[in-house]
Structures are given as C-alpha cells and as structure tokens.
Structure 1
Amino acid sequence: MSGTITAGVDGTDHSLAAAVWAAAEARRRGAALRLVHAWTWHPLDLPIEADAGTQERWAHDLLRAAESRVTAAEPGLPVSAHVLPDDAVPALVAETRRTGLLVLGSRGHGALVGYLVGSVALHVLRQAESPVVLVRDPGEAGEGPASDEVVVGVDDVTEEGDRVLEFAFEAAQARGARLRAVRAWSLPPVFARSPGSLRLADEAGGLEPLEKRRLAEALRPWRQVYPDVTVAEHVEMGSGAEVLLSTGGRAGLLVVGRRTARRRVGHVTHAVLHHASCPVAVVPHP
C-alpha cells in the first residue's frame, strides 16, 4: 500500500467520521493522511451572495475544520489538505490512482433509510483503482462494531482474488486483530454439475468439505506472509450477502472485493454496503 491514505470530506457528519477513521488507520499503518475536498464553481440559489471567491473560501474553511478534527484525534500525524478543482466523482476517482486507500463517508438519513449509500460514493466505487472504505457516522450506525475483528468475504479462491486477501491480512496485522475469512456456498443447479466437479466433491467428502478445502488453500500463502495474524475460517451454506452480514456486519472492518472489468458493484457487495453498520472496504481486483 502507498504511504498515503486519503479521506474525501464534504462537511457532513459522515465525511468527518470518515476523516477521523482514516486518521486512525494512517497512524496504525505509519502513513500520512491527505484530506481532499472536490470543488469547482457552480452558481448557487442561496439567499446570500455566493460568488466563486466565496465558495472557494467555504471549501478551504471546510478542509481546515476537518484538519482540526483529525489532528485533535491523532496528534502528530502528518496531515495535508487540498482543494481539488473538479466535480466530486472524477476528482475522487483520480485520487484512487495516487493513494493507497481512499476513505469516504456513507450517507445515511436516519433509521428508516439509513442503509442508503450516497450516489457519489457508489460512482467512485465503480471506477476506483485502489481500495475504498466507506464509513458511517457513528450516530447512525446503531450500536457500532461489536468486535475489533477484520472479516473478509472470500468469493474468488483463485489468484485473481489475492488483492482482497492481501488487504484483509494487512489490515488485521495493523490492528493486531483476528482475521475471520468467510466463504458462503450453495448447492449448484443440476445443469451446472459436471463429472469433474462431482468427482472433486466426492474426493473431499462432500460439497461443504470441498469448500472448506478451497478456502484453506486460498488462505495458505497469506498465512505464511503474515504469520502473526490469527485466522478463523468460516464456511456456511447460504447467500453470500446473508452469511457476510450475519458474521461480519458489526466487525471492526468488513472487506469485500469488486471485479474491475465489470465497472459495477456486485449484488453481495451492494447489500453489504447498504446494511453493514461497520466500515466496509471494497478492494478492486481482476
């Protein structure tokens, strides 16, 4: 990961919570924190004068307030603040090309629709080239995390999914926390069964033991790279979203993947983003 963690701020409680979370993560990883606010002049229908100069001052004031908040939370942390002269989505997507991690606020609006994720965050997630963490305002996240555990959903057990596992192991090591690797499985439809897949299941003693073996094999090289990280393996029959939310919805951090070729957020990741009360990291991978 790059030596810089970036937090996008817009003055909302969610973005300030994201900035504080990013500051703590930067401290854990020995990284610098970069605060950014995307601003370009647009005429505003306001009862007070808001020309370009006024709006630009607001943008800098907003950043100064965020900087004060994070330096109070993490004294001594290297922090820089920057106004990005562009609209929010292209500016933040460009940031993912230069930073190791982008942290954004997840905009909820109360208990009834608090699971909604802001449209800017979703657009950025679809195009991001680095991992993105969405953080809720603690006041709207219910009871908050139940543990410091890092939970990772392991859908792809091939080498293409290694970026997700690498991020999860690194996050667990930085926290001194246990990593829980979760794999959901379901019975394949009859038309999808092949003699080869049935043979593998028979050799493993059934479908569930086969999935446990696949998960263990995917984790093995990363256990060797991060020998100090305690790993719990969880394999459960059910939908990916339900299994992940039941085991990791209130973890310290929940890590999921996103395939870069699809330019969209998969249904499991989408459900987790909307319903998990803890910070959610979305890691792009091939």
Structure 2
Amino acid sequence: MSIGARTITVGIDGSRPSLDAADWAAREAQRRRLPLRLLHAGTEPAVFGRVCDVDVPAGRTRAALDRAAIELSYAHPALDIIARRTATPAVPALLAAAVEAETLVLGSRGRTGSAGFPVGSVALGVAARADRPVVLVRAGELPEDERMPVADGSSPSTAPYLPVVLGLDPDASADDLIGYAFDTAAVRSAPLHVVHPWTVPTSTLRPWRHRFPGTTVSEHRVDGDPGPRLLEASARAGLLVVGRRTGRGPGRAARSLIRHAGCPVAVVSHD
C-alpha cells in the first residue's frame, strides 16, 4: 500500500460482532477496489504485516487478528489485506486509523428484541469523533442481507443491492453526508432513498443528481421527525446513512437509529 492511499479499515477484537464487521468491510473494500486494513488495538506488542506474513508456523497459537486475516484472505483471495496490531488503546488507535481510511467499520452486538442492539462505548466514542465515515455493523450481518431476496434458486451474490437510505438534516451544510450516500449507492448500483423534512429545499439534491446520473433517487418528505420513517426504511435497506455535526457526537435521533436500525448504519461527519 502506497503512502497516502485510502483503505477500508475495521477494528478487530476477536468477538463475533467484530468478525462480522470485518466480513462486511471486506465486501466494501472489494466494491471500492481498496485495500482492507485490519486493526487490533490492545496491550500486545505492535506488529505489522500483510496477510502472507500472518500465516504463522504450526504449533503457535494464532491471535484473533491473525485468524481473521487468514479467513478473509481465503474468502476474498483478490483482496489486498493488511493486518496491524498496536498497543495503543482502542479509541485513540481507531481515530488515528480513520484519518487514513476511506471508511472505518466497527461491530456492534446483536439484536436484543424491541430494545434494539447495544452499541459499545468504543464504537460510540469513535463514531462521535472520527473525521471519516464510520459504519456500525450488527452481529449476524450476512452478505445476502444487503441484497434483494432471490426466489428462483439463483445465487444471492448476483442479486441487486437493496437501497441506500439517507437521512438528511435540513439545518446543516451536508455536502460530505450527501456525497457519501450518493457515492455508496453508485458503487453498489443501488437506488438511493432520501428521507427529509419538508423544510429541505427541493434544489438540495439537484447538483448530486447531475453528478451521479446513473443513480435512481427517490425523495420522501415527512412532516415532523423523520426518525420513524428512517427506521421503517432501514428494514428494507442495505445501508442507512445519517449525519452528525463536526465536533459533536450523534444526536439523540441518530443514536436511536444506530440502536434500532435493521441494517448497518454509516455515521458521517459534516459541517
């Protein structure tokens, strides 16, 4: 990987949610034709190597990072995978890694019924401060969950992607947020559904429609709080994109969506 090159970076701690997040991150790296960087933060001595360096001799116990790198290299043989371990604590290590990342991916625990799925302090702490988009992936997320259902026996991997859903804040200059949503939909050849209050001008999306003419865009205007509509839409989406103001953490509505959404959630910092 050349200096300055972007990556899809995922935090690995050996838990099931982090491994499911790593699989999601690997698919995102393939879609964007970027290297995948696995990062384990903790107290072990820091090492750095590509996946070929991680295939340790027989008899040595493989760490969670090593196992994840090897499993992903078998599942995605064409993917450039970089594994790194650092002794820096998780939040500062992930925030530093986000600076060089196109997207930072973190895992959350699985659903616990109507209460949604809990999001750990590390995931929320990073999502609240990272300069780059942070995608939170719940445990149990599968490749077919981001695609349209198939009923004719064909492979789920060939099915079209589910829509990307964008929740648009009317009170902010949100070019970074809108740009991320349009770009993500374009990479997947997926439709983009934009949910926003009536107070958002109709001209807001016009330049983005021109920039991404191949992306099918539908706008859904709602009276009052768009949160319930976004939550409903997330049940039939491949990714939900929400924003937060630069220098602030996700607001109450965004935190609720992070906990209850039926798909991975991307948190994007914007002015």
The TM-score by the shorter chain falls in which range?
A: 0.7 to 0.9
Q: Is the 8 A contact 1:63 1:81 kept in 2?
A: yes
Equivalences, count:
240
Q: Is the 8 A contact 1:169 1:226 kept in 2?
A: yes
Separation (CA, whole Å) in 1 of partners of 2:79 and 2:168: 33
- Show the counterpart of 2:268: 283
- Show the counterpart of 2:254: 269
Q: How does 1:100-139 map to 2 (within 5 A)?
A: 100-108=102-110, 110-111=112-113, 114-138=116-140
Separation (CA, whole Å) in 2 of partners of 1:109 and 1:242: 18
Q: Could you tell me which of 172, 182, 186 is aligned with 2:195? A: 182
- Show the counterpart of 1:152: 166
Q: Could you tell me which of 226, 233, 240 is aligned with 1:247? A: 233
1:62-83 Cα deviation digits (max 9, x unpaired): 1111112222332210001000
Tell me whether 1:229 sits opposite 2:215 in the alignment: yes
Separation (CA, whole Å) in 1 of partners of 2:216 and 2:6: 25
Output the TM-score relative to the length of structure 2: 0.81
User: Secondary structure, in 3 states, of the residue corresponding to 1:100?
Assistant: strand
**Structure 2 vs 1, CA of residues 163 and 181 (structure 1 numbering), >3 Å: closer, same or farther?**
same
Q: Could you tell me which of 11, 15, 20 is aligned with 1:17? A: 20
Separation (CA, whole Å) in 1 of partners of 2:207 and 2:6: 24
- Show the counterpart of 2:52: none
- Structure 2: which 5+ residue stretches go unaligned? 45-59, 149-161
1:140-173 Cα deviation digits (max 9, x unpaired): x9x9557511000111365x20101100011001
Distance apart, 1:112 and its partner CA: 6.3
- Structure 1: which 5+ residue stretches go unaligned? 42-56, 185-207
User: Secondary structure, in 3 states, of the residue corresponding to 2:263?
Assistant: coil
| Structure with greater helix share of residues | 1
Output the TM-score relative to the length of structure 1: 0.77
Higher CA-based Rg: 1
Separation (CA, whole Å) in 1 of partners of 2:15 and 2:266: 20
Separation (CA, whole Å) in 2 of partners of 1:109 and 1:5: 25
Tell me whether 1:29 sits opposite 2:32 in the alignment: yes
- Show the counterpart of 1:260: 246
**Structure 2 vs 1, CA of residues 114 and 248 (structure 1 numbering), >3 Å: closer, same or farther?**
closer
- Show the counterpart of 1:164: 177
Q: Which runs of 4+ in 1 moved over 3 A?
A: 108-114, 143-147
Separation (CA, whole Å) in 2 of partners of 1:172 and 1:2: 22
Distance apart, 1:126 and its partner CA: 1.2
Identity %: 44
Q: Is the 8 A contact 1:149 1:177 kept in 2?
A: yes
Q: Is the 8 A contact 1:250 1:276 kept in 2?
A: no
Distance apart, 1:16 and its partner CA: 0.6
- Show the counterpart of 2:75: 73
Q: Is the 8 A contact 1:4 1:31 kept in 2?
A: yes
* 66-75 or 122-131, which deviates more: 66-75
Separation (CA, whole Å) in 1 of partners of 2:206 and 2:222: 19
User: Secondary structure, in 3 states, of the residue corresponding to 2:99?
Assistant: coil
1:173-222 Cα deviation digits (max 9, x unpaired): 110100001113xxxxxxxxxxxxxxxxxxxxxxx4xx46x1x3111111
Equivalent AA in structure 2 for residue 149 of structure 1: P
Distance apart, 1:249 and its partner CA: 3.7
Distance apart, 1:132 and its partner CA: 0.2
Q: Is the 8 A contact 1:145 1:277 kept in 2?
A: no
**Structure 2 vs 1, CA of residues 74 and 163 (structure 1 numbering), >3 Å: closer, same or farther?**
same
